[in-house]
Amino acid sequence: MASTDVALHEGTDGSSGREPVVNDFSIQVATVNGSGSQSANTVLLRTIFQMGVPVSGKNLFPSNIAGLPTWYTIRASKHGYIARKKEIDFLVAMNPETAREDVVSLEAGAVVLYDEPLNLGSLREDLTFYSIPYDKIVAQVCPEAKLRKLVKNMIYVGVVARLLDLDMTEVEKAIRKQFARKQKAADLNWNAAKAGYDYAVASLRKRDPFRVERMNKTAGKIIVDGNSAAAMGCMFAGVTVVTWYPITPSSSLVETLIDYMKAYRIGPDGKATFAIVQAEDELAAIGMVIGAGWAGARSMTATAGPGISLMAEFVGLGYYVEIPGVIWDIQRVGPSTGMPTRTSQGDILSVALLSHGDTKHVMLIPSSVGECFSMASEAFNLAEQLQTPVFVMSDLDLGMNNWMSDPFEYPEEPIHRGKVLSKEDLERLGGFARYKDVDGDGVGYRTLPGTEHPLAAYFARGSGHNERSGYSERPDDYVNNMDRLARKFEFARTAVPKPEAVADNGNAIGIIGYGTSHWALDESLDQLKRERGIDCDYLRLRAYPFTTEVHEFIKCHDRVYIVDQNRDAQMLQLLKLDLPTEETGKLRSVRHYNGLPIDARSITDAIAAQEGK
Amino acid sequence: MASTPAPQPQPKMNRLGLAVLDYRGGKTTLCAGCGHNAISERIIDAFYEMGVQPERVAKLSGIGCSSKSPAYFMSRSHSFNSVHGRMPSVATGAVLANQRLIALGVSGDGDTASIGIGQFIHLMRRNLPIIYIIEDNGVYGLTKGQFSATADVGSKLKTGVINELPPIDTCSLAIELGATFVARSFSGDKRQLHSILKAAIAHRGTVMVDVISPCVTFNDHEGSTKSYKYMKDHEEPLQDVNFVPAFEDIAVDYDPGTSVNITMHDGSQLRLRKLEEDYDPTNRIEAVKRLSLAHEAEEALTGVFYINTEKPNFADMLNMTDVPLATLPEERVRPSRKVLEECMEELR
Ligand SMILES: Cc1ncc(C[n+]2csc(CCOP(=O)(O)OP(=O)(O)O)c2C)c(N)n1
Ligand code: SF4
Ligand SMILES: [Mg+2]
């Protein structure tokens, strides 16, 4: 032990003078991108999960392949709070570049586990330091010098396991799962973890209050990232044509989807029931989605902000020609390239109104991995029922981080293909008018190319058209058509997922949130009540256009805080477009836009300040 | 006074029992004399004579006078007039959704060689099964006559502006990038265009036909290299193109000394009577070289430059099931509960 290690006042129990902190703290591992720490961090996360303690993991990584700093934060919460926690309780400092700043920014009472040569122990007196001679330990368990850099990470897993009282049998199980198909790697890593553990037993005396104790709050649950959940959702939604152009943070959605489709969507004839194309850019990706949707496939693409900007013209075409398609926007920080590996909800307004002219689009907004799965089916059904592009607005935090969840439920709703006329229908009807509002819901009947009937064809065009899809520049045709499209959007209002009234107890103050803000809000609601005595109701949006429930909620509250993860209060602006003027004065804004996942404390402070408390 | 009514003259029918009328479209709104109208006529004839069910055809286009023309032929076929320069992606999506469709893309030189060059290149590279026609007039007709990227160096606009930039040769590009049937023709060369289009229908892969199609309103004057007069004076056919469909009598003789005979996928024969000795349309490198020479010599070379009937097309490569993806029933596209359970188990 380095003699510079300064402990807080030690208690008689040999740990610390503080109350034990059980199952309620965060661990941050500071490393370098490309150093292979991801496996070690996943093992830590899984171990805590396997011990029945609610847990979440957030990867804060740079837009770089190797060499820049990255931080991984694991939060254990007996209360089940899984939003990012601002304060770090337990720092594993592995990156010489950032170590000093990482230590300086800790709050008093935190713990630092550092690589011996970093010599951090003398930096502050109000922290607990443990120094670990990683290189010595790793040399003993890993004879191959080349692998040491990777295996080193598993040593801290062992040390942390000892310090936090993690069950080593669970650590082993997590390692074996992580390296499921690589026995040798599993053994090597398990030995490294054990060596770290043994070192800690022999050389470290516990001097901090943080501990994990078994609970039973994770039984039966799964851990998965939102993009994988979305991929699974799309497969079960019956997607048939997938196009994409790689962009963080959406690439992993399609890459995972490719794996799933290859595993489960090859028919008994050995042939694929799908086509996946890596397009030359996002213009082509969306063009293929539109072409496939027109010809009757369930088609989708996944992208992020820059791709959304490129897709604008085609999305307008999809709206106006009325073609189904699903677009996943895994939002990241803009404008422009922005911060590609940081999260935001910055595309809400631009997607809602994407493209020139009067266009409006349906958006579904998942908050959880469960919704990434279930909204996939909903999005495809809505796209085909409404005959229009439908967006699913996920974000980097949801898409790329690991989340705990109940297992997904099999989609009970059948696949709805919408109003498509068959050869027999055409025979019976003696023809059809593509853009005629036969049913009063604004949605016309369409036919698919290849339908073998002389009256099946219609001319799809992005130029002005009449009910029979003929070219038209007549003012009345244009107005009729645009009014019908508006009617269709009103119908969409009744068809999209309803918001979730998370808390509705007749309070004067209401909060509206959406997407990943939900998890911070879930915690903030408790903080506001407990710490500041502010009782709030809370409505979680799940879709645009806003359903009547949203209007009702705003009507019933004196003040309504809209929580946005963007600078310009985009959802608030969108609500304003929809609300009667007398209601808009009630809206207040809470915004978070620094690229980090939103945390409860920030919301609590912002609302309390505006409430003068 | 009864007398047998004179028999109504029966319209000629193709092998499906359809008349040429069944392949007609709406009345054209393009300028009288526009080359594009002649191309529409050739398309009608080719599809009629080949006996293609119009309902199996999907017409796709971008934006421009040329891209409007699908409204003027084959009304019984679905059609999609999409956005400027992006028809290739729409066509790709449509073919993936339903690989039984016969995709017919109509584009302009602006639509293809300027705004759409990126999508064009990737379409060629994929060898998607499609007939891709460029109605090439060297200008943007619909926006009133600006130069396009296929305009020749030295060619003159009505306003007197002279083009100084080299043209993009869409045929060379297509050959280099992987299209498997590449030809150039002239809207005024009725016979050649007709034969090329019929052969195009029999091909499985990307057919790229650049058809010089004079714009009578903005680019048909003295000084234009895409005018009727210029083409009539300068067109140099590489071969005499003949096509014998599989359902006709293939046995008709040809002379291997003077003709190249290519057997298409369905057994039809494309017969190219050599006007230039030793030109081998199955040799990619030679084809590109010949086109470069034509540029040097300022020749308006037409004919079938390149053909490859072996190369797999994009739809083949994707190994899609035979039923069109668009019409697969739920049980084939939604995996079972057991699969979901398996996926969940992996994540526990
Ligand atoms: C994104 C976009 N930019 C510009 C235009 C305007 N525009 C319409 S047609 C056209 C050029 C068409 O030229 P070409 O493809 O050669 O067709 P032609 O009219 O000559 O047959 C242009 C620039 C457009 N429709 N869309
Ligand atoms: S402007 Fe030119 S290209 Fe357009 S229709 Fe008239 S002649 Fe044809
Ligand atoms: Mg043109």
Q: Using one digit for the tens of pLDDT, what is the confidence trace for A39-68?
A: 999 999 999 999 999 999 999 988 888 788
> Residues A158, A260: one domain?
no
Domain of residue A381: give its range. 224-405
Give the number of the atom of ligand 1 that is nearest the alpha carbon of residue B137.
Answer: 20
Question: In this structure, is residue A216 part of a structural domain?
Answer: no
| A204-249 confidence digits (pLDDT tens) | 999 999 999 999 999 999 999 999 999 999 999 999 999 999 999 9
Does B215 contact ligand 2 (Cβ within 6 A)?
yes
Closest partner residue to B334 among A238, A267, A459, by Cβ? Answer: A238
User: What ligand has the least distance to the C-alpha of B114?
Assistant: 1
B199 touches chain A (CB under 8 A): no
Question: How large is the average pLDDT for residues B306-314?
Answer: 97
Structure tokens at A489: 């959007």
Domain of residue B171: give its range. 20-317
> Residues A371, A310: one domain?
yes
Paired residues of B274 in beta bridges: B239
Residue A564: pLDDT band with limits 50, 70, 90: very high
Distance from CA of A281 to the nearest CA of B (A): 9
Whether the pLDDT of residue A18 is over 90: the answer is: no
**Predicted local confidence at residue A8, as pLDDT:** 38
Residue found by looking up tokens 């990255």 in the block:
A70
**Predicted local confidence at residue A266, as pLDDT:** 97
User: In this structure, what are the phi and psi dihedrals at residue A601, rounded to the nearest 5 degrees?
Assistant: -60, -40
Question: In this structure, is residue A271 part of a structural domain?
Answer: yes
Using CA positions, which residue lies closest to atom 8 of ligand 2?
Answer: B34
Beta-carbon contacts of A27 under 8 Å, excluding residues fewer than 6 positions away, are A44, A73, A74, A75, A76, A88, A89, A90, A91, A92, A160
Does B73 contact ligand 2 (Cβ within 6 A)?
no
Question: How large is the average pLDDT for residues A478-506?
Answer: 97
Whether the pLDDT of residue A298 is over 80: the answer is: yes
Question: In this structure, is residue B63 part of a structural domain?
Answer: yes
Distance from CA of A321 to the nearest CA of B (A): 9
Interface contact A281-B86, CB threshold 8 A: no
Instruction: Kindly state the helix (H) or strand (E) to which residue A76 belongs, with its residue range.
Output: strand A69-77
Question: How large is the average pLDDT for residues A495-522?
Answer: 97
A538, A513 in Cβ contact below 8 A?
yes
Listed residues A438, A470, A495: the one ending a domain = A495
Burial bucket for residue A267 (CB in 10 Å: 0-12, 13-18, 19+): middle
Question: In this structure, is residue B1 part of a structural domain?
Answer: no
Residue found by looking up tokens 């957030």 in the block:
A58
Burial bucket for residue A6 (CB in 10 Å: 0-12, 13-18, 19+): middle
Interface contact B326-A448, CB threshold 8 A: yes
What is the A401 CA–ligand 3 centroid distance (Å)? 50
Question: In this structure, is residue A413 part of a structural domain?
Answer: no
> Residues A508, A443: one domain?
no
Interface contact A296-B97, CB threshold 8 A: yes
Whether the ω angle into residue B335 lies within 30 degrees of 0, i.e. cis, is no
B16 touches chain A (CB under 8 A): no
B122 touches chain A (CB under 8 A): yes
Question: In this structure, is residue B14 part of a structural domain?
Answer: no
Whether the pLDDT of residue A10 is over 50: the answer is: no
> Residues A159, A307: one domain?
no
User: In this structure, what are the phi and psi dihedrals at residue B167, rounded to the nearest 5 degrees?
Assistant: -75, 155
The amino acid at residue A508 is A
Does B63 contact ligand 2 (Cβ within 6 A)?
no
Using alpha carbons only, what angle is made at residue B171 by residues B166 and B172, rounded to the nearest 5 degrees? Answer: 70
Burial bucket for residue B28 (CB in 10 Å: 0-12, 13-18, 19+): middle
Quick count: other Cβ atoms within 10 Å of Cβ A411?
20
Interface contact B89-A283, CB threshold 8 A: yes
> Residues A53, A176: one domain?
yes
Using CA positions, which residue lies closest to atom 4 of ligand 2?
Answer: B141
Whether the pLDDT of residue A588 is over 70: the answer is: yes
> Residues A397, A442: one domain?
no
Question: How large is the average pLDDT for residues B5-27?
Answer: 89
**Predicted local confidence at residue A1, as pLDDT:** 32
Distance from CA of A287 to the nearest CA of B (A): 5
Q: Residue A366 sits in a domain of what CATH number? A: 3.40.50.970
Whether the ω angle into residue B167 lies within 30 degrees of 0, i.e. cis, is no
A375, A332 in Cβ contact below 8 A?
no
Using CA positions, which residue lies closest to atom 5 of ligand 2?
Answer: B30
**Predicted local confidence at residue A14, as pLDDT:** 47
Distance from CA of A413 to the nearest CA of B (A): 11
CA distance A422 to A424: 5
Residue found by looking up tokens 């009630």 in the block:
A586
> Residues A84, A136: one domain?
yes
**Predicted local confidence at residue B5, as pLDDT:** 65
- Chain B hits for A296, CB-CB cut-off 8 Å, are 97-98, 324, 326-327
Whether the pLDDT of residue B2 is over 90: the answer is: no
User: In this structure, what are the phi and psi dihedrals at residue A548, rounded to the nearest 5 degrees?
Assistant: -60, -30
Distance linking the first and last C-alpha atoms of chain A:
47
Q: Are strands A362-364 and A339-343 parallel, antiparallel or unpaired?
A: unpaired
> Residues A476, A396: one domain?
no
Question: In this structure, is residue A415 part of a structural domain?
Answer: no
Whether the pLDDT of residue B85 is over 90: the answer is: yes
Mark out the alpha helices in B98-169 (DSSP H runs). Answer: 109-113, 117-126
CA distance A173 to A405: 20
Q: Residue B187 sits in a domain of what CATH number? A: 3.40.50.970
A370, A341 in Cβ contact below 8 A?
no
Question: In this structure, is residue A412 part of a structural domain?
Answer: no
Helix (H, G, I), strand (E, B) or coil at A82: coil
Whether the pLDDT of residue B4 is over 70: the answer is: no
Helix (H, G, I), strand (E, B) or coil at A40: helix
Whether the pLDDT of residue A12 is over 50: the answer is: no
Name every protein residue with a CB atom under 6 angstroms from any ligand 1 atom. B 63-66, 84, 108-111, 135, 137, 139-143, 148
Return residues 26-55 of B near A (CB < 8 Å): 53-55
Whether the pLDDT of residue A522 is over 80: the answer is: yes
Q: Are strands A69-77 and A24-32 parallel, antiparallel or unpaired?
A: antiparallel
Whether the pLDDT of residue B158 is over 70: the answer is: yes
Instruction: Kindly state the helix (H) or strand (E) to which residue A131 belongs, with its residue range.
Output: strand A128-132
- Please enumerate, as own/partner, the contacts of B319-322 that have beta carbons within 8 Å and a separation of 24 or more: B319/A270, B319/A271, B319/A272, B320/A271, B320/A272, B320/A273, B320/A274, B320/A275, B320/B96, B320/B99, B321/A267, B321/A269, B321/A271, B321/A272, B321/A273, B322/A269, B322/A271
Whether the pLDDT of residue B1 is over 60: the answer is: no
Region of poorest pLDDT, from A136-150, A348-362, A471-485, B102-116: A136-150
Question: In this structure, is residue B129 part of a structural domain?
Answer: yes
Does B301 contact ligand 2 (Cβ within 6 A)?
no
Residue found by looking up tokens 């502010």 in the block:
A534
> Residues A504, A482: one domain?
no
pTM for the model stands at 0.96
The residue that leads in pLDDT, B275 or A299, is: A299
Paired residues of B140 in beta bridges: B146
A390, A234 in Cβ contact below 8 A?
no
Whether the pLDDT of residue B10 is over 80: the answer is: no
Question: In this structure, is residue B340 part of a structural domain?
Answer: no
Question: How large is the average pLDDT for residues B34-54?
Answer: 98
User: In this structure, what are the phi and psi dihedrals at residue A550, rounded to the nearest 5 degrees?
Assistant: -70, -45
Using CA positions, which residue lies closest to atom 26 of ligand 1?
Answer: B84
| B183-193 confidence digits (pLDDT tens) | 999 999 999 99
Closest partner residue to B340 among A299, A408, A463, by Cβ? Answer: A408
CA distance A64 to A61: 8
Structure tokens at B317: 């490569």
Question: In this structure, is residue B323 part of a structural domain?
Answer: no
In percent, the amount of chain B with pLDDT more than 90 equals 91
Listed residues A464, A480, A495: the one ending a domain = A495
| A173-197 confidence digits (pLDDT tens) | 999 999 999 999 999 999 999 999 9
Does B37 contact ligand 2 (Cβ within 6 A)?
no
Chain B's closest residue to A314, CA to CA, is B83
Listed residues A211, A246, A269: the one ending a domain = A211
Distances in Å between the alpha carbon of A279 and those of A187, A331, A429, B90? 41, 20, 40, 12
Q: For a ligand 1 pocket test, name from B67, B68, B111 the mutation site with the most ligand atoms within 8 angstroms of its C-beta.
A: B111
B100 touches chain A (CB under 8 A): yes
Distances in Å between the alpha carbon of A251 and those of A248, A254, B207? 6, 6, 33
Interface contact A290-B81, CB threshold 8 A: no
Question: In this structure, is residue A414 part of a structural domain?
Answer: no
Question: How large is the average pLDDT for residues B40-48?
Answer: 98
| A426-458 confidence digits (pLDDT tens) | 999 999 999 999 999 999 999 999 999 999 999
User: What ligand has the least distance to the C-alpha of B110?
Assistant: 1
- Report the number of distinct structural domains present in chain A: 4
Closest partner residue to B347 among A224, A289, A410, by Cβ? Answer: A224
> Residues A436, A332: one domain?
no
**Predicted local confidence at residue A4, as pLDDT:** 34
Question: How large is the average pLDDT for residues B315-326?
Answer: 97
Q: Residue A192 sits in a domain of what CATH number? A: 3.40.920.10
B82 touches chain A (CB under 8 A): yes
Residue A281: pLDDT band with limits 50, 70, 90: very high
Question: In this structure, is residue A595 part of a structural domain?
Answer: yes
Question: In this structure, is residue A251 part of a structural domain?
Answer: yes
Distance from CA of B268 to the nearest CA of A (A): 24
Closest partner residue to A272 among B22, B98, B320, by Cβ? Answer: B320
**Predicted local confidence at residue A280, as pLDDT:** 98
Residue by residue, what is the 3-state secondary structure of A423-444?
HHHHHHHCCCCCCCCCCCCCCC
- Report the number of distinct structural domains present in chain B: 1
| A19-36 confidence digits (pLDDT tens) | 999 999 999 999 988 888
CA distance B163 to B151: 7
B117 touches chain A (CB under 8 A): no
Whether the pLDDT of residue A483 is over 80: the answer is: yes
What is the B166 CA–ligand 3 centroid distance (Å)? 16
Whether the pLDDT of residue A108 is over 60: the answer is: yes
User: What ligand has the least distance to the C-alpha of B106?
Assistant: 1
Helices and strands, number each (H, E), in chain B: 12, 13
Question: How large is the average pLDDT for residues A475-496?
Answer: 98
DSSP 8-state code for residue A345: -
Using CA positions, which residue lies closest to atom 9 of ligand 1?
Answer: B64
Average pLDDT, chain B: 95
Q: For a ligand 1 pocket test, name from B69, B137, B143 the mutation site with the most ligand atoms within 8 angstroms of its C-beta.
A: B143
> Residues A469, A396: one domain?
no
Of A568, A537, A542, A570, give the one whose Cα is nearest residue A555. A537
Distance from CA of B161 to the nearest CA of A (A): 31
Interface contact A461-B56, CB threshold 8 A: no
> Residues A21, A158: one domain?
yes
Produce one character per residue of A516-531: b if its CB has 16 or more CB atoms within 10 Å, e if not. bbbbbbbbbbebbeee
Chain B's closest residue to A415, CA to CA, is B330
Question: In this structure, is residue B142 part of a structural domain?
Answer: yes
Interface contact B92-A450, CB threshold 8 A: no
Question: How large is the average pLDDT for residues A378-391?
Answer: 98
Distance from CA of B49 to the nearest CA of A (A): 18
Chain A's closest residue to B22, CA to CA, is A454
Whether the pLDDT of residue A307 is over 90: the answer is: yes
CA distance A351 to A389: 11
Average pLDDT, chain A: 95
